Chain A
């Protein structure tokens, strides 16, 4: 009998803490989305191409977010519920709208949320969580206990090194006083069922896809936390500030910006692009599941370089 009790105690001791403290990721994020606040957010990403950072002022209310740089006269972004509008000097300079009745969610989330510890962040009671993929921590979240707001989010690469950190450096839990933006109507992209993009890509699920009037297709992939979009165009896609990245002998153009990466490459009859927030170690496997860059040949490249 003593042996049985000892074995039971040993098993209980060996049980991972996460089993008892697991939190539903959707609930955590949903709670964050409903909060209202004003904050300053510092974004710092350590990328293979160098540090990418930005400081933005951010306000959230009713599921919508407004943000912009520190400059009072600079552009402001409004985003939420499938819309994204950039306004500068009182005019809309960029906008996009996607419509989906009820976007699908990932059936089987990749990550388990583990509650780590109670902490204090900007003087407020908070809780630290980890997003685990097996034993690998992919993200660490600091959540304000009172409002549910994500005060800090740090993502990690497969070696456990920080990739991007988004953290509030100031926080005001008061609802922002803002007016509804008056924007011009942009083309609404509706969900299509005719996409031929792969339904699974490197552990990411294709949630929905869209086609615009010009024939541009894009699909939205997610693993429950990280996400990216794949674009397929009938014309070349230009990445002005991109640098060359070679994968398996194929040349891509790549640009890291704060919190985001963009790849573009030519394919026969057009171009493709991948835009997302996934850590660098996920890039290669995602790209490998898509059509490889098309080598147009020396003379065509020469012709393009001369005449466009």
Chain B
């Protein structure tokens, strides 16, 4: 295997796997130069990570430039939609069926009371919805 700084960088980025990873480890065991290079790169990266994080002074860069890019917008949108669907499904399952009364049921009570009316008779008969009305 040839010396390869690119493979070492890829390894440190966690991008190697399988056969490439085994080949690299075998090469590092045989090649002191590459081992030294790997250690140097790890030291530099560790030093960079240890630096304190500093706030960008306001006004140094335009506001639009510091707005983070929504690279994962699709993922979050899908996740939110999934959560909403799950919540609605659960709520639908636990919501008891609505209790209602039909106006037809009330009609019978009105009709019963009408029969006590002094005007009850042919001028006051109440039709149930069961009676078919001719066209």
Q: Tell me the A residues contacting B by CB distance below 8 Å.
A: 26, 29-30, 32-33, 39, 41, 43, 52-56, 58, 60, 65, 67-71, 74-75, 77, 79-84, 86, 88, 93-98, 100, 103, 105, 141, 149-150, 153, 166, 168, 189, 208, 210, 216, 218, 220, 222, 224-225, 227-229, 231, 233, 235-240, 242, 255, 257-260, 262, 264, 271, 273, 275-277, 304, 306-308
Contacts and interface: CB of A to CB of B under 8 A. Distances in A.
Contact of B108 (A32, A81, A86, A255): A86
B121 A237 contact: no
B103 A54 contact: no
B28 interface: no
- The listed residue with most A CB atoms (<10 A of its CB), out of B95, B98, B107, B112, is B112
A239 B103 contact: yes
Interface stretch (B6-14, B33-41, B49-57, B127-135): B127-135
Nearest to A53: B133
A237 B133 contact: no
A75 B95 contact: no
A196 to B, nearest CB: 18
B101 A166 contact: no
Contacts of B129: 257
Contacts of B116: 81-82, 98, 100, 103
B119 A273 contact: no
Contacts of B126: 77, 79, 84, 259-260
A233 B133 CA distance: 29
B72 interface: no
A153 B120 CA distance: 12
A307 B91 CA distance: 9
Given A69-B131, A94-B108, A227-B117, 9 more contacts: A55-B134, A65-B122, A81-B115, A83-B112, A225-B119, A235-B98, A237-B106, A304-B98, A307-B98
Interface string B10-22: 0000000000000
Nearest to B99: A235
B112 A275 contact: no
Contacts of A227: 114, 117, 119, 124
Kindly list the 9 A-B residue pairs having the minimum CB-CB distance in the complex, ordered from nearest.
Answer: A96-B108, A96-B112, A84-B112, A84-B111, A308-B98, A229-B110, A153-B123, A75-B130, A69-B131
Contacts of A67: 125
B101 to A, nearest CB: 5
A88 B130 contact: yes
Contacts of B130: 74-75, 86, 88, 93-94
Most chain A CB inside 10 Å of its own CB: which residue of B97, B115, B133 = B115
A306 B122 contact: no
Contact of A82 (B95, B101, B112): B112
